Amino acid sequence: MASLMEELLEVLGEEEKQYQELIELADVKSQAIIKADIDKLSEVTTQEQNAASTLLNLSNKRARVLDDMATVLGKDPAKMTINKMIGYLENQPEEQKKLSERRDRLLEVGTQMQRLNQQNETLLKQALEMVEFDLTLLRSMRQAPETANYNKNAYNTGDLLGSSGFDAKQ
């Protein structure tokens, strides 16, 4: 059981490190969104996907270790959680404290990661709104109003005002 506990603590520590890496990448991503640096955003997204893949592997490993611990304790592996494991360790206060601290730190970085993701989501929405505004502005510049010029037969010539948008002549 001691080796399983060490393995569980190690996996939780590795998960925390991966979340810390994702937090750093989220900060870089925020700056890339603000600066509209598409290349940097693409690079950060690739790094995030790699970290997410590593987190998925660590999560599966954590689940396997918890299943093994449940089996050793004679508990149902399907219902085993870290919180329940902390409760089962009441006779081993040192291990209980270590596991509780790791869980708390992991929850803290998870909450921080969630906050940064929401912030980046808001930034991306605002960036998309800005792009949409710019596209609308460009379209409206190309659809300049017709002039009131007529040809010799009194038909409207359909000439458009300047296509450059603004006339800088004084």
Query: For residue range 20-79, what is the model confidence (pLDDT) as tens digits?
Result: 999 999 999 999 988 989 999 999 999 999 999 999 999 999 999 999 999 988 989 888
**DSSP reduced 3-state for 159:** coil
pLDDT-based confidence at residue 152 (cuts at 50, 70, 90)? confident
pLDDT-based confidence at residue 156 (cuts at 50, 70, 90)? low
> Over the range 125-138, which residues count as b (16 or more CB within 10 Å of their CB) and which as e?
eeeeeeeeeeeeee
pTM for the model: 0.73
Q: How far apart are CA 111 and CA 53, in angstroms?
A: 19
**DSSP reduced 3-state for 146:** strand
Q: How far apart are CA 144 and CA 61, in angstroms?
A: 63
Q: How far apart are CA 27 and CA 44, in angstroms?
A: 10
Contact 141, 55 (CB under 8 A): no
Q: What are phi and psi of 153, to 5 degrees?
A: -95, 10
CA angle 58/61/64 to nearest 5° reads 155
Contact 135, 41 (CB under 8 A): no
**Tokens found for residue 131:** 């792009």
**Tokens found for residue 3:** 């080796």
Mean per-residue pLDDT of the chain: 86
User: What domains lie within the chain, and their CATH numbers?
Assistant: 2-119 (1.20.58)
